[in-house]
Amino acid sequence: MEIASGMNYAPKGKPKPVVKPGEFVFSALRLDHGHINGMCNGLIEAGATLKYVYDRDPAKVAAFLKAFPQARAAESEEQVLEDPETHMIAGAAVTSERCALGLRAIRAGKDYFTDKAPFTTLAQLQSAKELVEETGKKYMVYYSERLHVEGAVLAGYLIDEGLIGKVVQVMGVGPHRISLSSRPDWFFRKEQYGGILCDIGSHQIEQYLFYAGEEDGCVTSSRIANYGNPDHPELDDFGDCMITGANGTTNYFRVDWFTPDGLRNWGDGRTIILGTKGYIEIRKYIDIGREKALSNQVYLVNGDGEKRIDATGVTGYPFFGQLILDSLERTENAMTQAHAFKAAELCLMAQAQAVDLTPDLQGRK
Amino acid sequence: MEIASGMNYAPKGKPKPVVKPGEFVFSALRLDHGHINGMCNGLIEAGATLKYVYDRDPAKVAAFLKAFPQARAAESEEQVLEDPETHMIAGAAVTSERCALGLRAIRAGKDYFTDKAPFTTLAQLQSAKELVEETGKKYMVYYSERLHVEGAVLAGYLIDEGLIGKVVQVMGVGPHRISLSSRPDWFFRKEQYGGILCDIGSHQIEQYLFYAGEEDGCVTSSRIANYGNPDHPELDDFGDCMITGANGTTNYFRVDWFTPDGLRNWGDGRTIILGTKGYIEIRKYIDIGREKALSNQVYLVNGDGEKRIDATGVTGYPFFGQLILDSLERTENAMTQAHAFKAAELCLMAQAQAVDLTPDLQGRK
């Protein structure tokens, strides 16, 4: 089951094209993470035209072409990068290789849209910042746990409408099912996946900055551990982190790989947003213990009472259309470059500073 | 409505007497916090005999006698402390005065059962430790958010049965309704209430130590703020904290005074306990957004699936009977003295170390 691991999470929405066929062309490079499917779906539903796909692994290309028959298999990365029609490269490389791919794409004159996390080192981030500054191109990130979840999109609207007052805290839990047998080798090598706070923690930090309206912050404290997977010693199966925003709001999140097999989805991801006049809880992928396995359940509690809103089919995924228009018109409505980079920076800092609580490593930094 | 503020939370259960009438006699001193009602209820349902009550405020005594007509109003604290029949003093003084009352009670040869938080300073804790060491008497604490909540009691049993594997994290949120007009003056004076992490944070830390089976830990990071109550500058209306246990488990909790008026109870208290084989979520006082306002809803997710268990009427409150027997038999089944003191110590440390994020105080320690 694709949905069981979360690795191939690729929600489908109603097509809402913002451009006509051929007005915005993109190509896909590197299919190491299944998120590439969600990235391409999202862009296509927003009107983008998918042209090329390339990966060194022909099996991955074949599977991709089955999902996206309109794409053409290119013979090389160079062929794609040199294609004058392609505006944007969508890539889901091994995490540690995402930056290098992005730099090649941007140097070839393309905007870049990468799976998260976008970097595994601060040096990579710095090189991307410099090239973006120099070229004016975009290095955008698929922070899917907000951008591609209707409950998360709706929560943003509810906050904007002032329904919970001023946001003072964002708390998130991002448990994921580990599905050991379906994971590639690089998933277990820290140098390649970057550590849990860098990897799935990046979603959490991006959401915090967005919902709290923070442009900057610092990591107050962070922890990682391998509590239950001694056979995979470089896997962090647990991480958590406190961030304090420049404006004084707070964030806490926990991420882990402990989703039990009995859960009817890959993870019980939640976001709880506390405001001075109310709060919102997003039960993103499952509302546990209910007869139906519903996703996108948004709970709003404020002075008017308690409401449950089913956001499925309500908001769509405006990010993708905005991203296309941003790329064509050089605006920043989908996401600012500063925001994408700040979330990346904080997740790298969280990982770098984390105390490792793995049994028999206690006390080790 | 009593339940609206949480200040008078005093759940009633099925009487389960562990002693015969008159075998265990206790008296109540100091009625500053409404928790005294829950403390007395719990002991009486477990078979204890309530003898005297005394407070300097006759109105509080009159209200107490209405709830507990079997009690007799004493003429002074001395009369109660000198009563040879009284085994235990139950007290809910202003937080900063709880220790002094306890020292007087213990010096008079009684066990002491105080509302939480039991101390506001480490010096108080030290004096209580020394006197307990010297006398062998008990300084027990009404950590009601676990001891007097059936969902919380049930969760302990589920963990003991191994249903979620080894506990690796306990997360708690403890929002409370502020009900400004019903609060006494001391509630807004930090020296008297001790700060939010000391006050309502103490529940959270006690739960963490209990569910994770930790006997010690250290405060990794903590924060407080007054985000929304500038008219009460000494009130922390927000606090959060990370603790790392001596055995490497983790705790995070947030407490706040932002429960909106639309919630059908005084606070959406939750505890989420993550184990290596599953997790438990306790929705203690309300399961938001449902037709009925149910409390004690325990969600268990593990390899066998997702279950919702209504714990109301299931477990009762075994703490009180155990406490009576502990007092009579000098055992420690209800709670060890070390556990009660460790939770108190950590909440004092959390408060003392907290960074204050109150707007215009940012950066101040």
CA distance A207 to chain B (A): 18
A133 and A152 assigned to the same domain: no
Averaged pLDDT of chain B: 95
Residue A16 in contact with partner chain B when CB distance is under 8 A? no
B84 and B70 assigned to the same domain: yes
**Residues B214-262 pLDDT 10s:** 999 999 999 999 999 999 999 999 999 999 999 999 999 999 999 999 9
Whether the per-residue pLDDT at B360 is higher than 80: the answer is: no
Q: Is A334 among the domain residues?
A: no
**Contact between chains at A262 and B306 (C-beta distance less than 8 A):** yes
**Residues of chain B contacting A235 with CB distance shorter than 8 Å:** none
B110 and B162 assigned to the same domain: no
Residue A330 in contact with partner chain B when CB distance is under 8 A? no
With cut-offs at 50, 70 and 90, classify the pLDDT of residue A145: very high
B151 and B134 assigned to the same domain: no
Q: Is B337 among the domain residues?
A: no
Domain that holds residue B58: 6-142
With cut-offs at 50, 70 and 90, classify the pLDDT of residue A8: low
Note the pTM of the prediction, 2 decimals.
0.95
**Residues B27-76 pLDDT 10s:** 999 999 999 999 999 999 999 999 999 999 999 999 999 999 999 999 99
Range from A45-59, A302-316, B11-25 carrying the lowest mean pLDDT: B11-25
CATH number where B150 lies: 3.30.360.10
**Are B51 and B86 spatial neighbours (Cβ–Cβ below 8 Å)?**
yes
pLDDT at B1: 32
Closest alpha carbon to B217 in B318, B129, B95, B345: B345
Beta pairing class for B250-256 and B167-175: parallel
Regarding an ipTM greater than 0.85, the answer is yes
Question: What is the per-residue DSSP string for A31-45?
Answer: ESSTHHHHHHHHHHH
Task: Report how many domains make up chain A.
Answer: 2
Question: Residue A303's closest chain B neighbor by CA?
Answer: B262
**Are A137 and A106 spatial neighbours (Cβ–Cβ below 8 Å)?**
yes
**Residues A222-281 pLDDT 10s:** 999 999 999 999 999 999 999 999 999 999 999 999 999 999 999 999 999 999 999 999
Q: Is A276 among the domain residues?
A: yes
**Are B31 and B53 spatial neighbours (Cβ–Cβ below 8 Å)?**
yes
A166 and A83 assigned to the same domain: no
Q: Is A331 among the domain residues?
A: no
pLDDT at B38: 97
Whether the per-residue pLDDT at A29 is higher than 60: the answer is: yes
Whether the per-residue pLDDT at A9 is higher than 80: the answer is: no
B136 and B217 assigned to the same domain: no
pLDDT at B4: 44
**Contact between chains at A168 and B244 (C-beta distance less than 8 A):** no
**Contact between chains at B258 and A279 (C-beta distance less than 8 A):** yes
A11 and A128 assigned to the same domain: yes
Average pLDDT for A279-288? 98
**Contact between chains at B254 and A258 (C-beta distance less than 8 A):** no
How close are the terminal C-alpha atoms of chain A, in Å?
38
Residue B307 in contact with partner chain A when CB distance is under 8 A? yes
3-state secondary structure of A357: coil
B96 and B119 assigned to the same domain: yes
Percent of chain B with pLDDT over 90: 94
B106 and B201 assigned to the same domain: no
CATH number where B34 lies: 3.40.50.720
Residue in the structure block whose two tokens are 């959060």: B240
Domain end among A95, A115, A142: A142
Q: Is B120 among the domain residues?
A: yes
pLDDT at A346: 98
Radius of gyration of chain A (CA): 20
Q: Is A295 among the domain residues?
A: yes
A291 and A179 assigned to the same domain: yes
Whether the per-residue pLDDT at A362 is higher than 60: the answer is: no
Residue B277 in contact with partner chain A when CB distance is under 8 A? yes
List the Cα angle A91/A95/A97 in 5-degree steps. Answer: 75
**Residues B101-155 pLDDT 10s:** 999 999 999 999 999 999 999 999 999 999 999 999 999 999 999 999 999 999 9
With cut-offs at 50, 70 and 90, classify the pLDDT of residue B19: very high
Average pLDDT for B192-215? 98
**Contact between chains at A258 and B274 (C-beta distance less than 8 A):** yes
Residue B274 in contact with partner chain A when CB distance is under 8 A? yes
**Are B271 and B281 spatial neighbours (Cβ–Cβ below 8 Å)?**
yes
**Contact between chains at A248 and B225 (C-beta distance less than 8 A):** yes
Question: What is the per-residue DSSP string for B29-78?
Answer: EEESSTHHHHHHHHHHHTT-EEEEEE-S-HHHHHHHHHH-TT-EE-S-HH
> Which B residues in the span 203-222 are in contact with A, Cβ-Cβ below 8 Å?
220-221
Q: Is A157 among the domain residues?
A: yes
**Contact between chains at B244 and A302 (C-beta distance less than 8 A):** no
Domain end among A125, A142, A159: A142
**Could you give the CA distance from residue A203 to residue A223 in angstroms, rounded to a whole number?**
17
Beta pairing class for A88-92 and A111-115: parallel
A20 and A87 assigned to the same domain: yes
A205 and A259 assigned to the same domain: yes
Q: Is B365 among the domain residues?
A: no
Whether the per-residue pLDDT at A365 is higher than 50: the answer is: no
* Residue in A166, A250, A357 closest to B223 by CB: A250
Give me the amino acid identity at A220: T
Whether the per-residue pLDDT at A94 is higher than 80: the answer is: yes
**Residues of chain B contacting A258 with CB distance shorter than 8 Å:** 168, 274-277, 279
* Residue in B276, B289, B290 closest to A228 by CB: B276
Domain end among B121, B142, B163: B142
